[in-house]
């Protein structure tokens, strides 16, 4: 009788373990799906494709194998996108910055989002290919225009500072020195 109880307990424990694993995997899958939806450049169709593949798992190790394939595909797509940018987009990106340097909200995040690239990849790409990091490039552009305006216009310092994207005169002065 005790042996039967132990066997029944083992069976229930095994069922519970499988139930927990399934729900843990479903939770992980849900989190992955949310993450994929937030990635720039990954289409809704691609996200659905990933989810369908991962939902076809047979066991935990198969699930993580399928997940690894999806991550690899995503990284390959991101790498391809970065290579494309290296080929011909640096001038386009610099032109975008040069045209919009005066926006108070101009930031690495804004430009990376505009081009559909993760901030970390964009930052690394920009520094490697432009020779300076994004903040230095943006500051140089703003200061260059500030110098030009100081020499060639009658605008007040406050007006110049606002027109080149700085929030106040002291921020401009710190950079200008």
Mean pLDDT, consecutive 10-residue stretches, the chain (177 aa), reads: 67 66 70 67 70 72 74 71 68 92 92 90 88 92 89 87 81 67
Per-residue model confidence as pLDDT tens digits over 36-86: 666 655 667 777 777 777 677 777 677 777 777 776 776 677 677 666 656
Alpha carbons 126 and 131: distance in angstroms, whole number:
8
Task: Tell me 148's DSSP state.
Answer: H
Site of tokens 């520094």: 127
Contact 100/137 with Cβ under 8 angstroms?
A: no
The reported pTM is 0.50
Interatomic CA distance for residues 112 and 134, integer angstroms: 11
């Amino acid at each position: 009788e005790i042996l039967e109880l132990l066997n029944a307990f083992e069976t229930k424990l095994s069922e519970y373990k499988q139930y927990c694993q399934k729900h843990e995997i479903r939770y992980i899958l849900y989190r992955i799906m949310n993450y994929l939806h937030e990635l720039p450049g990954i289409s809704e169709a691609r996200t659905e494709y990933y989810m369908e593949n991962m939902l076809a798992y047979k066991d935990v190790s198969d699930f993580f194998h399928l997940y690894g394939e999806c991550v690899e595909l995503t990284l390959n797509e991101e790498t391809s996108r970065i290579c494309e940018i290296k080929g011909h987009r640096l001038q386009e990106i610099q032109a975008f910055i040069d045209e919009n340097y005066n926006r108070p909200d101009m930031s690495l995040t804004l430009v990376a989002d505009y081009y559909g690239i993760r901030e970390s990849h964009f930052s690394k790409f920009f520094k490697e290919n432009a020779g300076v990091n994004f903040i230095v490039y943006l500051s140089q552009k703003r200061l260059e225009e500030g110098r030009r305006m100081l020499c060639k216009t009658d605008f007040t310092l406050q007006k110049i500072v606002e027109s080149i994207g700085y929030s106040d005169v002291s921020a401009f002065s710190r950079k200008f020195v």
